Amino acid sequence: MQIGSMPPPPPGPSPRDQAISSLDEKVEAGEITAGDKDAMLEALDAMHEERKAAGRPEPGSPPPTREEMQANFETLLSDQVDAGTLTEEQADELSAMFEEGELGKPKGPGGPGGLQGGELGSRAEELLSAILSELQSQSAYDENGENNSDVSALVADFQA
């Protein structure tokens, strides 16, 4: 197996698709109405547009903590309640869903989920396990502890 030739993991569902799926499950379970779902999706779309308009964070700035993300989300929800897009109950439901990671798993270490759980986490774990197995099977040392190969060849295939 050549590590440098491994295909990238397939893209997973978008955070919006994950949110729709979570909301559909809540409608099917009778926890919310179809009208609640529509209002919540409208609010989430508006919040997404607001975040896009705000622009990207400064390069080199640390990712927000989970608490900072939750507080920011609460502020955006409050704005949607004030605008009449959401009821307080709908905002509370979205807040709980965000806290539980049901509205999509932001990528990176700062967000709920990060590289844990879900398909991305499973795929990352699988890739890391394959790399570790490959490195272990091609040890640079023989049974006497003597170096018997070029370690750099284990990391990447420079001729591929």
Q: Would you list the domain boundaries of the chain?
A: 16-54+64-114, 120-155
pLDDT tens, position by position, 2-13:
555 566 666 677
pLDDT tens, position by position, 94-120:
999 988 888 865 444 444 444 444 445
User: What is the DSSP-derived secondary structure letter of residue 141?
Assistant: B
Model-level pTM? 0.57
Residue 113 confidence (pLDDT): 43
Which residue would you say has higher pLDDT here, 35 or 118? 35
Two structure tokens written together for 70: 């939750």
Residue 141: what are its φ and ψ, rounded to 5°?
-120, 145
Q: Report residue 24's pLDDT band, with 50, 70 and 90 as the boundaries.
A: very high
Residue 147: what are its φ and ψ, rounded to 5°?
-70, 120
3 state DSSP class of 18: helix
Q: Report residue 138's pLDDT band, with 50, 70 and 90 as the boundaries.
A: low
Residue 110 confidence (pLDDT): 41
Q: In percent, how much of the chain has pLDDT > 70? A: 58
Please say if the pLDDT value at position 75 is more than 90.
yes
Number of neighbours of residue 16 by Cβ within 10 angstroms: 14
Q: In percent, how much of the chain has pLDDT > 90? A: 34
Please say if the pLDDT value at position 139 is more than 60.
no
